[in-house]
Amino acid sequence: MNNIIIDFIVKYFYYVFLVFVLLNVLMARKKKYSRKKRFAVLYFSIFIFILYLYSYYLKDHNLGDVYLLFYFLLVIPAYIYFKKYLFPFQLRCEKCNKFLSFDLILFTDSTKCEVCEPSEKVEENKKEK
């Protein structure tokens, strides 16, 4: 049986899971503005953890990489169907199509750049001071 992918997941994905949990904690610094994205990261880390447990189970029962397909056959349609909740990240502003800053992509729910939606940014600056 071919177990390359399973071995890789069992070996490293626990740490991948921890990285996403840490990212979630990091995102909490802008609680009010990143709620949607914080939950998306949380769901993603849960999916990673399930993948880790499933791989562990497969390894324990000496099953091959082929069985991982079942996981992806369930998860990928879920991601496409619930894209709004599971993957709200956007690289470009939805109004002017300009690339967004790293901060806006990761830590703010807004999908518009500072120019198209300045009010929120001003409000945020006021809060920080």
Which residues here bind Zn ion, judged by CB under 5 A? 93, 95-96, 113, 116
Query: Which of 7/103 has CB closer to Zn ion?
Result: 103
Query: Which of 7/123 has CB closer to Zn ion?
Result: 123
Query: Which of 95/127 has CB closer to Zn ion?
Result: 95
Min separation Cβ 128 and Zn ion, Å: 22
Closest CA to 64 of 125, 16, 4: 4
Query: Which of 34/110 has CB closer to Zn ion?
Result: 110
Min separation Cβ 95 and Zn ion, Å: 4
Residues 6+ apart with CB under 8 A from 94: 111, 112
Min separation Cβ 96 and Zn ion, Å: 3
Residues 6+ apart with CB under 8 A from 71: 50, 51, 54
Contact 37, 106 (CB under 8 A): yes
Min separation Cβ 109 and Zn ion, Å: 15
Tokens in use for 46? 């849960």
Tokens in use for 97? 């199509």
Rounded (10°) CA dihedral 17, 23, 28, 34: -100
